[in-house]
Amino acid sequence: MPTRPRQHLIFDADDTLWENNVVFEGVIADFIAWLDHPGMTADEVRSVMDGIEREHAARFGYGTKVFELTLEETVRRLHAGRLTAADAQRIALLMARLRWDRLDIIDGVPETLAELRRRHDLLLLTKGDQEEQVRKIERSGLAELFRRTLVTPEKTEATYRGVVADERLDARKTWMIGNSPKSDILPAVAAGLRAVFIAHPHTWRLEVVALPETDARILRITKFRELLRLF
C-alpha cells in the first residue's frame, strides 16, 4: 500500500469525539416538561428558548454557564418576569447532569485517532468556555493523541487562519474534521482549508446550516472510523 502524504488534521471535540448535545437535549426536554406552560405547546416553549439561546450565544459565548442563564431567562419571559427560589433550585438540579464528570466517547474514536496519529499531525480545536472545555478534554483521556489542544471562544474564518499561522501549517494539506456546518466546515473552507463533515443526529440546532451539495473541498462521512480510508 503506498504511503499517504502527511496531512494536518484538526478535529472538533463536542459531538465529534464525544457526545455533548444529546445531554443538553435531555435537560431541555425535562425543563420544558417541568415548566408545563398552560398556554403554550412544548414546541412553542422551545422556540422561545432557542431565541434566548441565540441572544446569549452572541453576548456571552457558549457553555453550561450560559445555558443555565438561558433556562433562567426562559422562566422569566414565560412567567411575567419572575424567577422564584424554587425555580432556581429546580434549574440547579437539572444542571447537575452537565458537570461532565463522565464523557460518552463516540464509537471508534480512540482507536481511529491512535492510527491516524502514526502518519499525520493531529490537533484538537474546540470552542466554548475555556475552563469547561479543558475539563472535558482531560476527562476524555484523548489529549495525548493530539500534538496540541486548543480552545477558542468562537470558530470563524479568522480563527482558522490564526491556527494555520500560529501552528505554521500548510493550508493546502490541512483539514478540519467535525459535525457542525456552521463552525467546523464553512469557516474552515473559507479560510482555505479542506474539511470532512461527519453527520451527527443530535447536532445543536444553532449550528445547523446548509452545506453546498457539490464542493470538492468538503468530504462527507457518517462514521468516525471512515477517516481511516481517507487519510
Question: Which distant-in-sequence residues (6+ apart) come within 8 Å of 158 by Cβ?
Answer: 191
Q: State the amino acid at position 66 in one-letter form.
A: V
Residue 215 has a CB neighbour count (10 Å cut-off) of 13
3 state SS for 70-93: HHHHHHHHHCCCCCCHHHHHHHHH
Q: How buried is residue 177: exposed, middle or buried, by Cβ count under 10 Å (0-12/13-18/19+)?
A: buried
Span 60-83, pLDDT tens digits: 999 999 999 999 999 999 988 899
CATH 3.10.580.10 assigned to 8-18+103-230: no
CATH architecture of 21-98: Orthogonal Bundle (1.10)
Q: Establish how many alpha carbons lie within 13 A of residue 23's alpha carbon, considering only the half-sphere containing its beta carbon.
A: 20
Between vectors from CA 62 to CA 57 and to CA 68, what angle results, nearest 5°?
90
Which pLDDT belongs to residue 205?
85
Q: How buried is residue 173: exposed, middle or buried, by Cβ count under 10 Å (0-12/13-18/19+)?
A: middle
Residue 54 three-state SS: helix
- Grid coordinates of 77: 419571559
Which pLDDT belongs to residue 1?
42
Which pLDDT belongs to residue 95?
95
d(CA 203, CA 208): 7
Q: Where are the domains of the chain?
A: 8-18+103-230, 21-98
Closest among 141, 230, 216 to 177, alpha carbons compared: 230
Which pLDDT belongs to residue 3?
63
Which pLDDT belongs to residue 208?
87
Q: Which residues, given as ranges, of the chain have pLDDT below 50? A: 1
DSSP tag of 185: I
